[in-house]
């Protein structure tokens, strides 16, 4: 059977299980877009900016566990994907990005809208392809999805010169692939399991730090079994939220720069850290030379490059997290750490990081907690980046994996709204809340048009404080309140939403928060709420700049009250 390059790509997408493609058309992909008309199995979602296509595909992948897919044309279309590709790379998200390119005869001649997108994305993809012949397309598609979705997941880019779309060749989609240099999963060595078991059995103050790798591996059941059998307290990284139930007696919150004080103190005093599917990034460790000075480390990760990269591992266990935890649970001893758990409970009592200040003013933490209460912890929470992101992480109840979607490694402002599109399309029967800040929201607010166009019932909460809040907070604490370029003017978000045909309202009083959230939740369609929150509220706790994770700025206990 002969097909052209565009048909081969589309048929390959269908065979790889792709149902939704996010993107934006252009001259060098016009043949591909014409071909989409012949594939009703592929739902194409027109975003208003290519960056949004990458973020939507990213979030779709996070909430479903499938490989996300996005498409853009050459030149600026391709470069507009770069931020989204880098975001997916740093957060280990499986995604395939397809870009158009100038025709083969024009390559290297600085033709109109020509950029070397494979060169540009080389450091931020697991792999990328420049498909120079249509008979190479099927293999490239098969390999791209395999590489993106296996091992430590990540983005893969396929760049296609425009004349390859129309070039015909014999077509058979490969049933299997051979990539001898790509070992996406290493065997779990029994000797390392034994060493890990020994370290756990001998520890008196152990703690589990569970990261995104637990979610990627679908290992939340095995994590719970390990924690319960060995009676080990569990803390999360930002992207690990949801991999361990937050209402569990062994759960002690998020750790790191804006983590719970008691979680940080526990890490600082632990004699063993069992690090599972996390990479000891600087938001967790702060000053490396002072990080967990009393602890040995058992580090479990599928990527051997992460082990020992930042923090020395005394026991390295390379492998798929689910397989490793299954092996550990088979032989783990039933343990008890009563004194250690009592100590953490005491820190929790002395440092009530999870409580909200008692005031009649409209606090952003209160808004987040109300969203969580109304949803019963069952909503998918999607954030942008800034203060609102940390408040969402601190005050949302996330008991299910793949229910907290945020930009971790890259810290991409503008992520929330397009990511909420991908999350809603991936989980159409669930409530999706986009929690955003006024600064972050303005970076991608044009995607309200996509939400209206696709009739997506996304709920949007803007924590509007009139500042680029996280930078302002740093300026307050470390730069003598010199608020340079952080006060930010915003348009009337309610009018903008209404202009797109989206229901919206503004909330300025604390008493109106719960009724507004309930109204949005029960509304059959998209709904935006502009919450005018306390302008100079700070995210606390906060690890002091360049300090140990135990050196925190906290809210005085006298100013908080139990929720």
Same domain, 406 and 335: no
Is 66 part of any domain?
yes
- The predicted structure's pLDDT at residue 555: 83
Cα Rg of the chain, angstroms: 24
Residue after which a domain boundary falls, among 291, 316, 350: 350
Q: Which residues pair with 159 in a beta bridge?
A: 99, 130
**At a CB cut-off of 8 Å and minimum separation 6, what does 488 contact?**
438, 439, 442, 466, 467, 468
Residue after which a domain boundary falls, among 140, 170, 200: 170
**At a CB cut-off of 8 Å and minimum separation 6, what does 339 contact?**
none
Cβ–Cβ under 8 Å, residues 21 and 425: no
- The predicted structure's pLDDT at residue 59: 98
Same domain, 159 and 254: no
- The predicted structure's pLDDT at residue 353: 82
Same domain, 511 and 416: yes
Is 557 part of any domain?
no
Please state the length of the chain: 563
- The predicted structure's pLDDT at residue 563: 36
Q: If you average pLDDT over residues 317-325, what whole number do you get? A: 98
| The Cα angle at residue 283 between residues 277 and 287, in degrees rounded to 5 | 110
The CATH number given to whatever domain includes residue 65 is 3.40.50.970
pLDDT(544) > 90? no
Is 563 part of any domain?
no
Question: Taking Cα atoms as reference points, which of 61, 56, 60, 86 lies closest to residue 71?
Answer: 56
Edge-to-edge strand list for the sheet holding 527-532: 404-405, 380-383, 432-437, 459-464, 527-532, 503-507
pLDDT(386) > 90? yes
The CATH number given to whatever domain includes residue 243 is 3.40.50.1220
Q: If you average pLDDT over residues 21-33, what whole number do you get? A: 98
Same domain, 129 and 226: no
Domain count, the chain: 3
Residue after which a domain boundary falls, among 300, 320, 350: 350
- Could you tell me how far CA 341 lies from the centroid of its own chain? 30
Cβ–Cβ under 8 Å, residues 233 and 252: yes
Same domain, 309 and 436: no
| Segment 92-115, tens digit of pLDDT | 999 999 999 999 999 999 999 999
pLDDT(10) > 50? yes
Is 238 part of any domain?
yes
Same domain, 441 and 345: no
Is 203 part of any domain?
yes
pLDDT(562) > 70? no
| Segment 546-558, tens digit of pLDDT | 899 999 999 876 5
| Four-residue CA torsion sign, 112, 113, 118, 122 | positive
Same domain, 293 and 382: no
Averaged pLDDT of the chain: 96
Is 556 part of any domain?
no
Is 523 part of any domain?
yes
CA distances to 18, 47, 412, 415 from 51, in Å: 20, 9, 11, 9
Same domain, 344 and 378: no
Percentage of the residues of the chain whose pLDDT score is greater than 70: 99
- The predicted structure's pLDDT at residue 560: 53
Identify the band that residue 195 occupies on the pLDDT scale cut at 50, 70 and 90: very high
| Cα distance from N-terminal residue to C-terminal residue, the chain | 66
Same domain, 315 and 279: yes
pLDDT(137) > 80? yes
Same domain, 194 and 144: no
Same domain, 303 and 342: yes
What is the span of the domain harbouring residue 237?
190-350
CA distances to 32, 73, 100, 151 from 38, in Å: 10, 20, 19, 33
Is 6 part of any domain?
yes
pLDDT(428) > 90? yes
Same domain, 51 and 157: yes
């Amino acid at each position: 059977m002969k097909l052209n390059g565009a048909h081969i790509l589309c048929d390959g997408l269908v065979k790889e299980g792709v149902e939704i493609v996010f993107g934006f058309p252009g001259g060098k992909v016009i043949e591909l877009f014409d071909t989409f008309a012949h594939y009703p199995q592929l739902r194409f979602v027109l975003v208003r900016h290519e960056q949004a296509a990458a973020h939507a595909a990213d979030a779709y992948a996070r909430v479903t566990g499938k490989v996300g897919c996005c498409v853009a044309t050459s030149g600026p279309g391709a470069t507009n994907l770069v931020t989204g590709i880098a975001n997916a790379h740093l957060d280990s998200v499986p995604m395939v990005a397809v870009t158009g390119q100038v025709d083969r005869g024009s390559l290297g001649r600085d033709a109109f809208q020509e950029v070397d997108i494979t060169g540009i994305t080389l450091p931020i993809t697991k792999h990328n392809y420049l498909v120079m012949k249509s008979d190479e397309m099927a293999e490239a598609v098969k390999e791209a999805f395999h590489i993106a979705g296996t091992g430590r997941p990540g983005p893969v880019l396929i760049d296609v010169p425009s004349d390859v779309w129309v070039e015909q060749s014999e077509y058979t989609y490969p049933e299997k692939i051979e990539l001898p240099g790509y070992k996406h999963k290493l065997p779990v060595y029994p000797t390392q399991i034994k060493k890990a078991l020994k370290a756990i059995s001998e520890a008196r103050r152990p703690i589990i730090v569970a990261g995104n790798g637990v979610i990627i591996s679908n290992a939340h059941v095995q994590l719970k079994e390990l924690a319960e059998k060995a009676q080990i307290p569990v803390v999360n990284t930002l992207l690990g939220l949801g991999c361990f139930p937050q209402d569990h007696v062994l759960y002690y919150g998020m750790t790191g720069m804006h983590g719970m004080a008691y979680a940080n103190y526990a890490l600082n005093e632990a004699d063993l850290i069992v690090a599972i599917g996390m990479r000891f990034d600087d938001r967790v460790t702060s000053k490396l030379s002072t990080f967990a000075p009393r602890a040995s480390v058992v580090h479990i990760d599928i990527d051997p490059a992460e082990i020992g990269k930042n923090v020395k591992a005394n026991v390295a266990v390379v492998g798929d997290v689910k397989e490793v935890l299954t092996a550990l649970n088979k032989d783990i001893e039933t343990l008890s750490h009563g004194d250690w758990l009592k100590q953490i409970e005491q820190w929790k009592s002395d440092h009530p990081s999870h409580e909200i200040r008692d005031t009649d003013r409209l606090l952003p933490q209160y808004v987040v907690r109300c969203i969580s209460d109304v949803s019963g912890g069952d909503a998918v929470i999607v954030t942008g980046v800034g203060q609102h992101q940390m408040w969402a992480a601190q005050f949302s109840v996330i008991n299910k994996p793949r229910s907290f979607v945020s930009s971790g490694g890259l810290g991409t402002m503008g992520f929330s709204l397009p990511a909420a599109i991908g999350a809603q399309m991936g989980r159409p029967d669930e409530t999706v809340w986009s929690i955003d800040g006024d600064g972050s929201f303005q970076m991608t607010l044009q995607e309200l048009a996509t939400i209206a166009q696709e009739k997506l019932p996304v709920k949007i909460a803007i924590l509007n404080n009139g500042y680029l809040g996280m930078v302002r907070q740093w300026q307050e604490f470390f730069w003598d309140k010199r608020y340079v370029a952080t006060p930010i003017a915003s348009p009337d978000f309610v009018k903008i939403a209404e202009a797109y045909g989206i229901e919206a309202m503004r909330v300025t009083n604390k008493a109106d928060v719960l009724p507004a959230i309930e109204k949005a939740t029960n509304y059959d369609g998209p709904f935006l709420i502009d919450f005018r929150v306390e302008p100079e509220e700070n995210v606390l706790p906060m690890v002091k700049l360049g300090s140990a994770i135990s050196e925190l700025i906290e809210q005085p206990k006298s100013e908080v009250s139990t929720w």
